[in-house]
Amino acid sequence: MTTQKDIKIFSANSNKPVAEVIANNLGLPLGKSEVKTFNDGEISTSLFESVRGADCFIVQSTCLPVNNNLMELLILADAMKRASAANITAVMPYFGYARQDRKAKARDPISAKLVADLIATAGISRVLTMDLHAAQIQGFFNIPVDHLQGAPILSNYYKDIIGENSDEYVVVSPDFGSVNRARNFAHRIDCPIAIIDKRRPKAGVSEVMNIIGDVRGKKAIIIDDMIDTAGTLVNAAEAIVKTGGATEVYAGATHAVLSDPAIERLQNSVIKEVLLLDTIPLPEEKKIDKFVVRSVAPLFAEAIERIYSNKPVSTLFL
């Protein structure tokens, strides 16, 4: 006799609001579990329901505190593996360590590869994530990786604003590394593209050098995968207005890392509005009037349903 496997959605501590909305969209309760930290920093997990033979999905962004959140994911997965779960999928709206994807100088680690190995070793059989900083990180895994894109959510927001006035807007890539992302976004909203050519004197410091493309008299939308300290974004916005002659600047990004001094920089910048997705929770102390947040939960819920039903996930990329 064959029976369909149960599907169970669990969450560790990094992004429970998104996990709850995902479970609600699927018509499921959030799995009963607890992830806690002892006084000495060790992490412990408890499962309060059976996962035997079930398809389990753990929602966990490995954002700040990155190492704690990563260990929560690994230990929770290990608990499920030892409790005889059929499949364990790590649903990682934000994948930490993605910027350490290569040896930038001699004797550097490739930490993204190490994290990929740890995830597989913990018993996780699939990863579902969004907008990896470097798409080739998918190749670091020996398990399936479904790589969702934030562009459909971001572009749908701007489509409603732009309407039939797409000739008034231009999409700007803040550097050459983000050109493909900006081009994809520009195609979705039917706008031209411009590129910021910048030189980075040292780590964490960027200097805008030139603008490739016409932004004069336009409303510019800068698109990137994440906002960390916001230095690159703010410098680009200044150049677009002062050098390029744009009338307004907006920004959109998938991951709101927002390390210090990002909030202060964005608040004092020429950027009128910043569109963010909730792959990383936005605490109250970081919320400012310029921020607009849209949820990734419906997209992840649909991807989970397709994975569980053995349907193609690729249609979600269109």
pLDDT 10s digits, 12-21: 999 999 999 9
- Whether residues 168 and 88 share a domain: the answer is no
Is residue 1 in some structural domain?
no
Is residue 278 in some structural domain?
yes
Distance CA 301, CA 143 (A): 20
- Tell if the pTM clears 0.85, that is, is over it: yes
pLDDT in tens, 127-154: 999 999 988 999 999 999 999 999 999 9
- Whether residues 21 and 89 share a domain: the answer is yes
- Whether residues 288 and 177 share a domain: the answer is yes
Q: Which residues contact 33 (CB under 8 A, 6 or more apart)?
A: 10, 11, 45, 46, 47, 48, 49, 76
pLDDT at residue 1 tops 60: no
- Whether residues 205 and 302 share a domain: the answer is no
Strand boundaries in the chain, DSSP class E: 7-11, 33-37, 43-47, 55-59, 87-92, 126-130, 145-148, 169-173, 193-202, 205-212, 219-227, 248-256, 271-277, 291-294
Total tally of structural domains belonging to the chain? 2
% of the chain residues with pLDDT over 70: 95
Tokens of 125: 């059989």
For the chain, the C-alpha Rg in angstroms (whole number) is 20
Distance CA 87, CA 5 (A): 10
Is residue 109 in some structural domain?
yes
Is residue 272 in some structural domain?
yes
pLDDT in tens, 149-207: 999 999 999 998 998 888 899 999 998 888 999 999 999 999 999 999 876 666 656 56
- Whether residues 130 and 199 share a domain: the answer is no
- Whether residues 14 and 143 share a domain: the answer is yes
% of the chain residues with pLDDT over 90: 85
Range of the domain at 285: 151-294
260-to-43, 106, 198, 229 alpha-carbon distances in Å: 27, 28, 22, 6
Kindly state the average pLDDT of the residues 210-219: 93
Is residue 257 in some structural domain?
yes
> CATH number for the domain including 312?
3.40.50.2020
Q: Which residues contact 50 (CB under 8 A, 6 or more apart)?
A: 83
Point out the residues that are catalytic.
Answer: 198
- Whether residues 67 and 177 share a domain: the answer is no
